[in-house]
């Protein structure tokens, strides 16, 4: 007969959601099946640093169904679709892949947007499947529509980054929020775009081929007609010196890659609402 010490804490059941004492957010365990090392590492970084997300996620071993709450399955590896089909009988499954056609439907999380869309995808699964309520919308409220000489239009963002992948991922994320965007691979291309079109905010990388992002931001903030445009520095450089340089250059926000979709959405919404209030003030229409 085994004996248990009266001082030994009672163990929770195996399928009980994990909730650390220092974090009161609902916590869910995510197990990855067939996901490559690169994407597993990205997921680990994003989930560990997503302290402002409404739910907490931890990576769990890909073992028995009682040891995780959500399965994340790579649909591009051999046997991936079969694993996803079998797991779906016991747990919600996030399909990671490249499919977005009308015949089979779109995978839940495309590899091309993995970094920006991971948290949003997990949040939707939790709210729609595990909690049984409609997921929060990514769309920026219609009140943020811009009214100017062009009439009523969607907000427009300029993405200044020499990486085509980053420009494409950011453009896709902004499109989901109802924000149009245009990309520029250098400061020179950005200047040309700004001369002919109006933008409501700009995302600027630090490392660029012709002019670094800090100097370009300073240039924008010294321009008589562009200085009011919010500039969001989006970079992988996160040292205290870099943060200070961004502030001294006049950047309105400094985001460090990889950035979560929720953080991006909150930042965009905050600046568009501020733009709207400023426009009302100038027109003398700000509500009491």
**pLDDT, tens digit (0-9, with 9 covering 90-100), for 63-91:** 776 789 999 999 999 999 999 999 988 88
**pLDDT, tens digit (0-9, with 9 covering 90-100), for 119-174:** 878 988 988 888 876 555 545 554 456 666 555 678 899 999 999 999 999 998 89
Work out the angle between the directed axes of helices 164-176 and 114-125 (0-180°, nearest 10): 30
Work out the angle between the directed axes of helices 261-283 and 114-125 (0-180°, nearest 10): 90
Question: pTM surpassing 0.95?
Answer: no
CA distance 235 to 153: 29
Higher pLDDT, 21 or 72: 72
**pLDDT, tens digit (0-9, with 9 covering 90-100), for 257-274:** 888 887 888 889 888 887
Per-residue confidence (pLDDT) for residue 136, from 0 to 100: 52
Place of tokens 């100097």: 215
- Going along the chain from its start, the domains and CATH numbers come out as 27-130 (3.40.50.2300), 142-283 (3.40.50.2300)
CA distance 170 to 39: 18
């Amino acid at each position: 007969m085994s004996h248990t010490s009266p001082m030994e804490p009672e163990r929770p059941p195996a399928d009980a959601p994990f909730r650390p004492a220092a974090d009161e957010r609902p916590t869910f365990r995510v197990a990855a099946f067939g996901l490559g090392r690169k994407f597993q590492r990205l997921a680990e970084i994003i989930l560990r640093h997503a302290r402002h997300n409404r739910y907490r996620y931890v990576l769990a071993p890909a073992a028995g169904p009682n040891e995780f709450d959500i399965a994340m399955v790579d649909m591009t590896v051999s046997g991936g679709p079969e694993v996803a089909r079998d797991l779906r009988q016991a747990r919600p499954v996030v399909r990671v892949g490249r499919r977005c056609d009308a015949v089979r439907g779109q995978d839940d999380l495309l590899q091309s947007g993995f970094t920006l869309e991971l948290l949003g995808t997990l949040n939707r699964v939790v709210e729609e499947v595990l909690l049984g309520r409609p997921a929060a919308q990514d769309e920026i409220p219609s009140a943020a529509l811009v009214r100017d000489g062009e009439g009523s239009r969607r907000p427009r963002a300029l993405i200044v980054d020499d990486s085509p992948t980053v420009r494409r991922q950011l453009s896709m994320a902004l499109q989901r929020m109802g924000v149009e965007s245009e990309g520029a691979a250098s400061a020179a291309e950005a200047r040309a775009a700004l001369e002919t079109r109006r933008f409501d905010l700009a995302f600027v990388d630090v490392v660029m081929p012709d002019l670094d992002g800090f100097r370009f931001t300073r240039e924008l903030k010294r321009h008589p007609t562009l200085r009011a445009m919010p500039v969001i520095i989006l970079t992988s450089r996160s040292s205290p010196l870099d943060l200070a340089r961004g502030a001294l250059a006049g950047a309105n926000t400094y985001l460090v890659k990889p950035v979560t979709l929720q953080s991006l959405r909150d930042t965009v919404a905050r600046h568009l609402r501020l733009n709207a209030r400023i426009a009302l003030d100038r027109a003398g229409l700000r509500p009491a």
